[in-house]
Amino acid sequence: MRDTKVIELEEVAIRFSGDSGDGMQLTGTLFSDATALFGNDISTFPDYPSEIRAPQGTVGGVSGFQVQFGHKEINTPGDEAHVLVAMNPAAVKANARFMKPGGTIIYDVDSFTQKNLDKAKFSTDDPFGELNLEDFTKIAVPITSLTRESLKEFELDNKSVLRSKNMFALGLICWMFGRPMDYIENFIKTKFAKKPKVVDSNLKVLKDGYNYGLNMQHMTPQYLVNAAEIEKGVYRNVNGNQATAWGFLAAAEKAGRELFLGSYPITPATDVLVALAERRDLGVKTFQAEDEIAGICTTIGAAFAGDLAVTSTSGPGLALKSEALGLAVMAELPLVVVNVQRGGPSTGLPTKTEQSDLMQTLYGRNGESPMVVLAASTPSDCFYYAFLACKIAMERMVPVVLLTDGFLGNGSEPWRVPSMDELPEITPRIAKDSSSFKAYRRDEDTLAREWAFPGMKGYQHLIGGLEKNIEGSVSHDPENHQKNSEIREEKVQKVVEMLPELEVCGDKDGGDLLVVGWGGTYGHMISSVREMRKEGKSVSLAHFNFIKPLPANTEEVFSKFKKIVVCELNMGQFVAYLRDKLPGFEYHQVNKLKGLPFSVAELKENFDKLLED
């Protein structure tokens, strides 16, 4: 028996990559779920092309999935991968720049034919030398031929055999990293329960991949990454879109209202619609509309009818919803819009991440049209901000926009499932006294009007896009419009009373550099700041989840630091907003528009330059 080489690591990042038809997204997801169940903290980043089926074997058609896991807190999928699993030459070429120096490349040697080298536009027959990967550990595995050999008894067609290659690779990686395969096996049995031949063939290939690693220990070392120390509770691996949907479900239960979602499918927000469409057992009503306008108009109707009303979209879809959003503002109805941002403008980069829609969310409507704007920062906390968005909407009678993005929506991490008792109460502002009801009479403290809907006797009133007076009658009086416009803005600003103050990670009493970010950049921000603080540098982080209104102590926090740098995945939308609302500070910027999240290394490089100036 050979001695097994075991390498112990604090954390490790693996990137699965291949053609769009090679099943890399499923492979990465199954490995990530098994790793989360093992007890590691994880963070994932699916990365795939926007075409339904990009040209096979080309760099443009490469689909990837990166997961970083460890036995300590993991905030990012990793800047660079320790291990790359490449199913063809194009996968190596597309991912060479994402590899950690000296890392390991496991590749399907059967796919490295001249035809595939040409498709990937290699100019020589030595792809690794051409990409300067000589110092990397390269493990050539005949994945295709071994899969054929594994499945020859099943008499499957060639397409079905090739579709199973990812299971061989998954089994091999499970052996290398000591992942138990119980979860993966149960998933296969459940998913293909009506196709026993598919179940048996996939399980056979999965186990053969595992056994290949076991038998070839001299080639494939094992890695040991111990489980993380985490708070006790029930956990599951969750992506941001799932967490968002479940936040809406929890809010509906807490508020005692039925949940309605009216939406049009759009990447990368579609999974919110899919997740809620599956929950009719919880009384959820979903409507897949013919377009974005119908999606939000049905949602406004549901809000008027007394439901917790939600719509989901991304970039161009938010633009189409803008007119109806103005109607929701004027009617002062509780409505939640979740915008899973993506690369733009227009169709842009629909499968890539970008903080593209902040200005559109804040200002992209006609007239003075204020709404509350929140931004989630991790896949799991999409749950809490979806819940909070609903609470604000129903208690303050305002439309609320929740901004997530493709990185959060598709990325995943372990999430401790809360009990309903842990979540705050939601008290919708439902009208209770019909004898004195006036549709636009307001609470003195919050300025919120009452919520009355059809079926409530004695509460009939006019509603629509025309300006009203306090009696609920249409009014063209100029003074009334001026006053109501100011009230609608002040009502949004008063939501600050429901929000926590801005927290600083680092020097709470001030320091040399304050890093400012918002939304889905949190993981890379906090990782870079923590690393620099370990190096003895005075760098702190203020990360925003509340955009409108800003936290009450924002100006106080900013005033304590010598320099402020605002980092965002756009050309400077949040920093422009800060310059407008808090003009007394000098803001530096770090911006990126590549369809990719920040890396910790590039953030640290920029922060070091600011500290040196």
Instruction: Please compute the mean of the pLDDT values over residues 454-459 and round it to a whole number.
Output: 92
Residues 182-226: tens digit of each pLDDT = 999 999 999 999 999 999 999 999 999 999 998 887 576 677 888
Q: Tell the residue number behind the tokens 């899969």, with chain if given.
A: 147
Using H for helix, E for strand and C for coil, what is the string for 174-188?
Answer: HHHCCCCCHHHHHHH
Please give the C-alpha separations between residue 348 and each of 92, 267, 316, in angstroms, as whole numbers. Answer: 25, 11, 10
Contacts of 106 (CB under 8 A, 6+ apart): 83, 84, 85, 86, 139, 141, 169, 172, 173, 220
Name the CATH topology of 6-224: Pyruvate-ferredoxin Oxidoreductase; domain 3 (3.40.920)
- Mean of per-residue pLDDT scores for the chain: 94
Residue 488 corresponds to which tokens in the numbers above?
A: 């609608």
- 1 — pLDDT class (breaks 50, 70, 90): very low
Note the pLDDT of residue 185.
96
Asked whether residue 56 carries a pLDDT value surpassing 90, the answer given is: no
- 231 — pLDDT class (breaks 50, 70, 90): confident
Residue 31 corresponds to which tokens in the numbers above?
A: 């490995």
Q: Please state, in angstroms and rounded to a whole number, the distance separating the CA atoms of residues 543 and 488.
A: 27
Note the pLDDT of residue 456.
94
Instruction: Please report, rounded to a whole number, the percentage of residues in the chain having pLDDT higher than 90.
Output: 89
Instruction: Please compute the mean of the pLDDT values over residues 61-66 and round it to a whole number.
Output: 94
Asked whether residue 95 carries a pLDDT value surpassing 50, the answer given is: yes
Asked whether residue 324 carries a pLDDT value surpassing 60, the answer given is: yes
DSSP string, 102-128: EEEEEEEGGG--HHHHHHTT-SSS-HH
Residues 507-550: tens digit of each pLDDT = 999 999 999 999 999 999 999 999 999 999 999 999 999 999 99
Q: Tell the residue number behind the tokens 């490349």, with chain if given.
A: 105
Residues 20-51: tens digit of each pLDDT = 889 999 999 999 999 998 889 999 999 988 87
Note the pLDDT of residue 149.
95
Residues 371 and 403 sit within 8 Å (Cβ to Cβ): no
Note the pLDDT of residue 77.
95
Helix, strand, coil tally for the chain in percent (to 5): 40, 20, 35
Q: Which amino acid is at 171?
A: G
Note the pLDDT of residue 220.
66
Contacts of 433 (CB under 8 A, 6+ apart): none
List the domain boundaries for the chain: 6-224, 237-422, 434-498, 511-612
Note the pLDDT of residue 48.
86
Q: Which CATH class is domain 237-422?
A: alpha beta
Note the pLDDT of residue 4.
54
Main-chain phi, psi angles of 446, to 5 degrees: -100, -15
Note the pLDDT of residue 329.
97
Instruction: Please compute the mean of the pLDDT values over residues 384-389 and round it to a whole number.
Output: 98
Note the pLDDT of residue 598.
97
Q: Please state, in angstroms and rounded to a whole number, the distance separating the CA atoms of residues 204 and 420.
A: 42
Instruction: Please report, rounded to a whole number, the percentage of residues in the chain having pLDDT higher than 70.
Output: 99
Note the pLDDT of residue 218.
59
- 2 — pLDDT class (breaks 50, 70, 90): very low
Sign of CA dihedral 273, 277, 282, 287: positive
Using H for helix, E for strand and C for coil, what is the string for 445-512?
Answer: CCCCECECCCCCCCCCCCCCCCCECCCCCECCCHHHHHHHHHHHHHHHHHHHHHCCCCCCECCCCCEE
526 burial class (0-12, 13-18, 19+ CB within 10 angstroms)?
Answer: buried
Of 178, 183, 188, 186, the residue nearest 210 (C-alpha): 178
Residues 404-433: tens digit of each pLDDT = 999 999 999 999 999 999 999 999 999 999
User: How many other CB atoms are there within 10 angstroms of residue 598's CB atom?
Assistant: 26
Residues 238-284: tens digit of each pLDDT = 999 999 999 999 999 999 999 999 999 999 999 999 999 999 999 99
- 52 — pLDDT class (breaks 50, 70, 90): confident
Q: Which CATH class is domain 511-612?
A: alpha beta
Are the folds of 6-224 and 511-612 the same?
A: no
Distance from the Cα of residue 168 to its chain's centroid: 29
- 230 — pLDDT class (breaks 50, 70, 90): confident
First to last CA, the chain: 59
Residues 121-169: tens digit of each pLDDT = 999 999 999 999 999 999 999 999 999 999 999 988 999 999 999 999 9
Which helix (DSSP H) or strand (DSSP E) does residue 586 occupy? none
Tell me which of 577 and 22 has the higher pLDDT.
577
Note the pLDDT of residue 575.
98
Note the pLDDT of residue 393.
98
Instruction: List Cβ<8 Å contacts ≥24 apart for 121-125.
Output: 121/58, 121/59, 121/93, 122/89, 122/93
User: How many other CB atoms are there within 10 angstroms of residue 513's CB atom?
Assistant: 23
